[in-house]
């Protein structure tokens, strides 16, 4: 890999994130807490399950649009007989995360694109928590799983699995703050969406 280009990309990342961090701070929102009723837990569980299904559907959607056949090996999706380029492998491996990035923004923002002042409902919070749970799993015990998302992204790019998982953790940590935090500064959602946007741009221009 070209170390000069790699250094330029790293500097661009740092510069873009620094600019967002320096945006005017506006305090917004209150933290989410679940409705302790049975109905509240059911809505949360349904949202969580829907988020997991959406993650897997993201992989299937990208694979089928590229003409790959999708099957499964245990709980993992596999693309039998596919000869993947590094770019295609990166796009396929990251498709689930990208889908959940988009869903989290839909839940945490209103129709005008502004951060919700009030926390989401139990279903929406379950959708976001499924993304946070998947991110935590890939930061820890799923990081080295063969056929896993982080493993595939690492193979495609040559980056270490630690580096990939930490890159994926950045928006997840920010979205955890957005969902559960009280008086969340305005730069937090801005930085979160910037990190997702930069990640998606990198993936699809790789």
User: Mean pLDDT throughout 19-48?
Assistant: 79
3-state secondary structure the chain: CCHHHHHHHHHHHHHHHHHHHCCCCCEECCCCCCCCCHHHHHHHHHHHHHHHHHHHHHHHHHHHHCCCCCEEECCEEECCCCCCCHHHHHHHHHHHHHHHHHHHHHHHECCCCCECCCCCCHHHHHHHHHHHHHHHHHHCCCCCCCCCHHHHHHHHHCCCHHHHHHHHHHHHHHHHHHHHCCCEECHHHHHHHHHHHHHHHHHHCC
Please give the share of the chain, as a percent, with pLDDT higher than 70: 85
85: how many CB neighbours lie within 10 A of its CB? 10
Q: Could you tell me the pLDDT band of residue 1, with boundaries at 50, 70 and 90?
A: very low
Domain assignment present for 108:
yes
Average per-residue pLDDT for the chain: 88
Q: Could you tell me the pLDDT band of residue 16, with boundaries at 50, 70 and 90?
A: low
> Which residues constitute the domain of residue 162?
35-204
Domain assignment present for 81:
yes
Domain assignment present for 70:
yes
Based on its alpha-carbon atoms, the radius of gyration of the chain, rounded to whole angstroms, reads: 18
Domain assignment present for 17:
no
CA dist 76 → 29, 52, 72, 146 (Å): 37, 13, 5, 9
Please state, in angstroms and rounded to a whole number, the distance separating the CA atoms of residues 58 and 52.
10
**pLDDT given for residue 76 in this prediction:** 78
Q: Could you tell me the pLDDT band of residue 80, with boundaries at 50, 70 and 90?
A: confident
Contact indicator for 185, 22 with CB cutoff of 8 Å: no
Please state, in angstroms and rounded to a whole number, the distance separating the CA atoms of residues 62 and 95.
7
Q: Which of 187, 191, 171 is nearest to 26 (CA)?
A: 187
Residue 106 backbone phi and psi in degrees, to 5: -60, -40
Domain assignment present for 129:
yes
Contact indicator for 60, 127 with CB cutoff of 8 Å: no
Domain assignment present for 24:
no
pLDDT per residue over 114-143, tens digit each?
898 889 999 999 999 999 999 999 999 999
Q: Could you tell me the pLDDT band of residue 26, with boundaries at 50, 70 and 90?
A: low
**pLDDT given for residue 125 in this prediction:** 97
Domain assignment present for 69:
yes
Contact indicator for 157, 9 with CB cutoff of 8 Å: no
Comparison of pLDDT for 18 and 188, the residue scoring more: 188
Q: Could you tell me the pLDDT band of residue 61, with boundaries at 50, 70 and 90?
A: very high
20: how many CB neighbours lie within 10 A of its CB? 18
Answer whether residue 18 shows pLDDT above 60.
no
Specify the number of domains making up the chain: 1
pLDDT per residue over 154-191, tens digit each?
999 999 999 999 999 999 999 999 999 998 999 999 99
Answer whether residue 79 shows pLDDT above 90.
no
């Amino acid at each position: 890999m070209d170390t000069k280009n790699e250094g330029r990309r790293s500097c661009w990342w740092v510069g873009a994130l620094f600019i967002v961090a320096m945006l005017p701070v506006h305090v917004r929102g209150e933290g989410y807490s679940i409705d302790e009723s049975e109905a509240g837990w059911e809505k949360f569980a349904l949202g969580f399950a829907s988020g997991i299904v959406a993650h897997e559907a993201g992989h299937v959607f990208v694979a089928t649009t590229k003409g790959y056949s999708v099957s499964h090996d245990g709980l993992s999706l596999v693309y039998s007989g596919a000869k993947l380029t590094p770019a295609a492998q990166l796009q396929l491996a990251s498709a689930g995360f990208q889908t959940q990035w988009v869903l989290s923004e839909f839940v945490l923002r209103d129709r005008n694109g502004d951060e919700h002042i009030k926390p989401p409902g139990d279903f929406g919070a379950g959708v976001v928590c499924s993304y946070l749970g998947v991110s935590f799993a890939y930061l820890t015990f799923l990081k080295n799983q063969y056929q896993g998302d982080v493993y595939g992204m690492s193979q495609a790019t040559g980056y270490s699995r630690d580096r990939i998982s930490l890159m994926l953790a950045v928006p997840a940590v920010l979205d955890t703050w957005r969902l559960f935090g009280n008086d969340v500064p305005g730069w937090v959602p801005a930085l979160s969406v910037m990190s997702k946007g930069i990640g998606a741009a990198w993936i699809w221009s790789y």
